[in-house]
Amino acid sequence: MPFGNESWIRPQEAVSLLPTPDGKRSATLLERPGLEIKIYAPRGIDPQTPHDRDEVYVVIAGSGEFRNGDRTHSFGPGDLMVVPAGVEHRFESFSDDLAVWVVFVGERR
């Protein structure tokens, strides 16, 4: 994890980690029991599949639409989205500068 025990992470520092050396568009910043914090910045398409933990997104930059189950909403900087474990979701029609904090909470199901 790039920030170890640091408790202060600026968005531009986190985004600068992407893409990772192996080409991934997300990076884990902090991981503890029941908690994982990541930076995510998809480009072009969002290939996500449902996750095995509840997930929270906070938009740092960019705008677009977010599909959460059978609902779609517009989003922009500062917006927060919550996705329960197992629910189909993805970013759609999003701008090229999209960057979000991702927080996985709880135990894996």
Q: What is the pLDDT of residues 53-78, one digit of tens each?
A: 999 999 999 999 999 999 999 999 99
Distance CA 103, CA 48 (A): 15
Distance CA 89, CA 51 (A): 9
pLDDT above 60 (res 1) = no
Banded pLDDT at 3 (limits 50, 70, 90): low
Q: Give residue 92's pLDDT.
A: 97
Distance CA 56, CA 38 (A): 10
Distance CA 22, CA 93 (A): 25
* More confident: 13 or 3: 13
Distance CA 50, CA 22 (A): 22
Q: What is the pTM of this model?
A: 0.90
Choosing among 3.40.50.720, 2.60.120.10, 1.10.3720.10, 1.10.287.370, the CATH entry for 11-92 is: 2.60.120.10
